[in-house]
Amino acid sequence: MRGFFLCHFMTASSLFMVSSGGCLNVELLIYGLWPPAMLQAIPLAGPGFDIGIDEANQELSDILRIKRTYISGPEVVGCEDTGAYFDQISRHYYGYTEQQNDSLLILVYLGCGDSTIFGQLAREWNILAISGGASYPDQRDMVLYPTALATGPFQFELYSTMFEKVCEAFNWSRVGLAYDTSGAIPFPTEIYDAFSSSGSVRSGKLQLQRFPIPPEANHKTILQKISQAARDARFNNHSSAVILVALEAFGSLIQMITCFDHDPEAHRLLKGRIRRKASEMYGYRYAPDREPSEFATSSYLITKMLASVVNDSFQRGLDISNGRLLAHQFLNTTYTAGPIGRLFIDSFGERQSKICLSPFNHSRGRFTRALYCDHTETTLQRVPNTVIVWNTPGNRPPRDTPLCGFLGEGESCRKSSITPVIIVMAILILIFTSFLCYLRQRFSQQGLLRNCWWRLETPEIKHKPG
């Protein structure tokens, strides 16, 4: 640790905020939930910052020194509380600027959704603000929130694009969205909103029909109903029961999911470090079958990107105390963290990840990637050497309209006596396991486990029939 902080003198143009040691002090003010019931809570996502800070301070030991301060307390328990205690940020901010103003302050918010207050405060103070929790499109506005970035691992924006591209690729124009209404998962509405915000739906090129599933519904009946009305059903109920029913009912089961490109070994090592830090510094012990989530990895990634951008801007003599200018350095930029993957921030300041379309592989017992969409390509990309098994004649994607029409009135069927083959396929929208878990508030560890059952990577899943 000793060697880290021996910064030396910087160039004259970048003397701003350089402390007596010749080092640029950077202070992350991190505001968020403390109880570890949600995945972006400080004890769970925080270790990612610590590891990122340690590495950045080592790599840039002669240039900058990053510290972090948590703003949280026992009263900040759930999502609604993060909105109610923004005065704590103000108090910290004014306290800091009064006493010690030799640090570059950066606000970090580990909340639920992008609170616009957060973006507004940062704009008034003209300091960089990073929202590392769940990202909603509210803050995709660099005019209203010119210093704010949203770097959380999940966004809805790409789902809308992906949905459009998939329908286009398979010539589908009638799509049903079946979703759970038990209230346990507030997510379906957001997905519906994302889908219906796509240009094709708004222009009427794509018809999107909603199929709300009552909590006590019989899924078989619903699947039948859907198959009569649409070619392509999307489900949001993530219970294994539904997957089993869907596997039985549909020829093909495909998942649309945010996917990350980590080198498995490097990712495993990082998660091990996060796990240890969580226990040593935050008193949080992961259960043996639980793992640090993408929120923790994301904290690590954004800290590394931050250090890199600050170093670069600082060395180029940019006025980094100007939050607007500093935030601008992140736009349209990709940061590569070697084997841990990449982080891309779009021109609205929102992180954009890859979305994958992954068919269920029966022999492997899990979903494997076949197609993906990301910011680098305008078209849907195919993963080499993969096939989608549609279980249709000629293994073609299901037709937009059944051969015999939806009511069996089709021309070809009247001529032939052969019973029409009903071809149905389902796309399961299984957003990354942690995202689901994040959405569940204040539920017990047991509940959390139950709702995260499809950590399909873990061996446990493969052996459990239900």
Ligand X SMILES: *[C@@H]1O[C@H](CO)[C@@H](O)[C@H](O)[C@H]1NC(C)=O
Number of residues that bind ligand X (CB under 6 A): 29
98/411 with CB nearer ligand X: 98
312 is an interface residue for ligand X by CB under 6 A: yes
- The residue range among 158-166, 178-186, 248-256, 453-461 that interacts with ligand X, by the rule CB under 6 A, is 178-186
Rounded to whole angstroms, the Cα distance separating 209 from 231 reads 11
DSSP string over 381-421 = EEPTT------SGGGPPPPSS-TT-TTS--HHHHH--SPPP
Rounded to whole angstroms, the Cα distance separating 215 from 429 reads 18
Segment 223 to 252, residues that bind ligand X, using CB under 6 A: 237, 239, 241-242
Coil vs helix vs strand at 369: coil
219/262 with CB nearer ligand X: 219
- The residue range among 115-123, 268-276, 278-286, 306-314 that interacts with ligand X, by the rule CB under 6 A, is 306-314
Rounded to whole angstroms, the Cα distance separating 52 from 54 reads 6
Segment 400 to 459, residues that bind ligand X, using CB under 6 A: none
376/445 with CB nearer ligand X: 376
Q: Which of 260, 231, 243 is nearest to 158 (CA)?
A: 260
332 is an interface residue for ligand X by CB under 6 A: yes
Segment 353 to 372, residues that bind ligand X, using CB under 6 A: 361, 363-364
Q: Identify the bridge partners of residue 256 per DSSP, sorted by sequence position.
A: 357
Instruction: Determine the number of helices (DSSP H) and then strands (DSSP E) in the chain.
Output: 16, 16
Q: Give Cα separations from 122 to 23, 146, 185, 307, 446 (angstroms).
A: 24, 9, 31, 19, 38
285/332 with CB nearer ligand X: 332
Coil vs helix vs strand at 119: helix
**Going residue by residue from 246 to 285, which x/- string records binding to ligand X, judged by CB under 6 A?**
----------------------------------------
Q: Identify the bridge partners of residue 211 per DSSP, sorted by sequence position.
A: 178
DSSP H or E run through 214:
none
Quick one: how far is CA 227 from the chain centroid? Answer: 30
**Going residue by residue from 144 to 173, which x/- string records binding to ligand X, judged by CB under 6 A?**
--------------------------xx--
Rounded to whole angstroms, the Cα distance separating 232 from 447 reads 31
**Going residue by residue from 54 to 73, which x/- string records binding to ligand X, judged by CB under 6 A?**
-----xx-------------
Judged by CB under 6 A, the residue of 58, 69, 101, 189 near ligand X is: 101
Kindly state the smallest distance separating residue 278's Cβ from ligand X, in Å. 27
| Sequence-separated contacts (24+) of 403-411 with Cβ below 8 Å | 406/228, 406/229, 407/228
Q: Which of 329, 297, 332 is nearest to 310 (CA)?
A: 329
- The residue range among 106-114, 262-270, 382-390, 407-415 that interacts with ligand X, by the rule CB under 6 A, is 382-390
Judged by CB under 6 A, the residue of 266, 325, 389, 403 near ligand X is: 389
Kindly give, in sequence order, each residue whose CB lies less than 8 Å from that of residue 117, ignoring residues fewer than 6 positions away. Answer: 83, 86
Residues in the chain: 466
60/320 with CB nearer ligand X: 60
386/444 with CB nearer ligand X: 386
Judged by CB under 6 A, the residue of 315, 334, 395, 444 near ligand X is: 315
Residue ranges in contact with ligand X by CB under 6 A: 59-60, 101, 170-171, 180, 182, 184-185, 215, 219, 237, 239, 241-242, 308, 311-312, 315, 331-332, 347, 361, 363-364, 386-387, 389, 397
